[in-house]
Amino acid sequence: MPFGNSFLPNLADVRQEVLDAMLRRPISHRSAEFHKLFANIQTGLRGLFGTERPVYVATSSGTGMMEAAVRCAPRGRILALVNGAFGERFARIAQACGREVDRCEIPPGQVPEPSAVAELLSRGSYSAVTMVHSETSTGALADVRGIANVSRSAGAVTIVDSVSGVGGAPFHFDDWGLDCAVSASQKAIGLPPGLGFAVASADFIRNAADVSDRGVYLDLVSFDAYAQDNETPTTPAVSLLFALEVEVAEVEREGVEARWARHDAMRTSVECWSSQLQRDTDLEVGILARPGARSPTVTVLQLPDAMSSDVLITDVAVRGYLIGSGYGDLATTSVRLGHMADHTVEELAGCLSAIAESFRAIKRAR
């Protein structure tokens, strides 16, 4: 399938130039050449995360870095904000790491409100709050800054999963006063899967040094120390770092704010298309996330009654485009579009046209 025709929510389309970079001969991760590679990567990653802090790069999935953040978090009870499958994953990770966890359950498509979180924090003693920036299972975009503000006032650190956010949605780690944020390579950053990223404040790392059971492979204290020398603690997936160097160069060429604007334009395109499709076909094709809280990288389309996601996905594929099914309980009643990384509004228009044709064909056949 040519580049620009895959709109899966869990795996970004990857440019051929990025793939070709992975064919280079690997280099030693303790060499001067690697130090230069790592430094080049840092410049672009810091722009995407909005930070002057080092961005840690691990050979890991985003889930691995979620666990790293939890293992290094201050001792104490954790408040997990759960408004989808990945908020729930954060809660399960914290429990599996032996932490006491209270869940704040928010309906799918909704986002946690800072005032409600502040109320919960006032009722108990919490050391950390976990949350998801762009919830890939629902397409909802949360107010990270607002949550961080109320968490800080309550004496809790804020740990953010932005796996489908960083690279496509505005993210300002330093300005928002975040404590730890994680992401991964295969979504809005536009690489194959295999790299996890994290940023942590100096205070978070300093306090993590006193956590005795934070592990070895996922120890952010170790990542921080090695990053000062443009290295990683253990052997990284060097080939993916070659690909990352190419991609962050493209990010710098386009400009981070222009990249964010392009993603926002794709979100707007989907919203306008959905409204027009409903007017043209009388089919109920809604967007799950509420207006004002929609991710610029992932959209969840709710299907009309009695329409199967499998049937729609198959028909769209015949027309030359890949889209994803809903996630978890939404698997059969919705589909997900991943409009992220290096996609353009024009490429997205072709996919939306194919989806509209499929809706009409399925309606005629019913």
* Residue pLDDT, tens place only, 10-22: 999 999 999 999 9
Chain centre to alpha carbon of residue 113: 20
Band of pLDDT at residue 284, cut at 50, 70 and 90: confident
Mean pLDDT of 116-129: 97
Band of pLDDT at residue 305, cut at 50, 70 and 90: confident
Q: Hey, is 271 helix, strand or coil?
A: helix
* Residue pLDDT, tens place only, 169-200: 999 999 999 999 999 999 999 999 999 999 99
Instruction: Give Cβ neighbours of residue 253 (< 8 Å, ≥ 6 apart).
Output: none
Contact 150/117 with Cβ under 8 angstroms? yes
State the angle between helix axes of 144-153 and 114-122 in degrees (0 to 180), rounded to the nearest 10.
20
* Residue pLDDT, tens place only, 44-55: 999 999 999 999
pLDDT of residue 118: 98
User: Which domains does the chain show, CATH number per domain?
Assistant: 16-254 (3.40.640.10), 256-365 (3.90.1150.10)
Angle CA 145–149–152, to nearest 5: 130
* Residue pLDDT, tens place only, 104-118: 999 999 999 999 999
pLDDT of residue 306: 82
Q: Hey, is 255 helix, strand or coil?
A: coil
Contact 298/9 with Cβ under 8 angstroms? yes
Band of pLDDT at residue 363, cut at 50, 70 and 90: confident
Share of the chain above pLDDT 70, in %: 100
Which residues is 132 bridged to in the sheet? 161
DSSP letters, 100-162, are -EEEEE--TT----HHHHHHHHHTS--SEEEEESEETTTTEE--HHHHHHHHHHTT-EEEEE-
Which residues is 103 bridged to in the sheet? 80
* Residue pLDDT, tens place only, 329-346: 899 999 999 999 999 999
Cα 137 from Cα 327, distance rounded (Å): 5
Cα 323 from Cα 347, distance rounded (Å): 13
Closest CA to 321 of 344, 277, 353: 353
* Residue pLDDT, tens place only, 66-85: 999 999 999 999 999 999 99
Query: What phi and psi values does residue 42 have, to the nearest 5 degrees?
Result: -60, -40
Mean pLDDT of 133-157: 98
Cα 168 from Cα 341, distance rounded (Å): 7
Contact 213/73 with Cβ under 8 angstroms? no
pLDDT of residue 25: 98
pLDDT of residue 1: 74
Closest CA to 359 of 271, 272, 280: 280
DSSP letters, 282-321, are ----EESSPTTSB-SSEEEEEPPTT--HHHHHHHHHHTT-
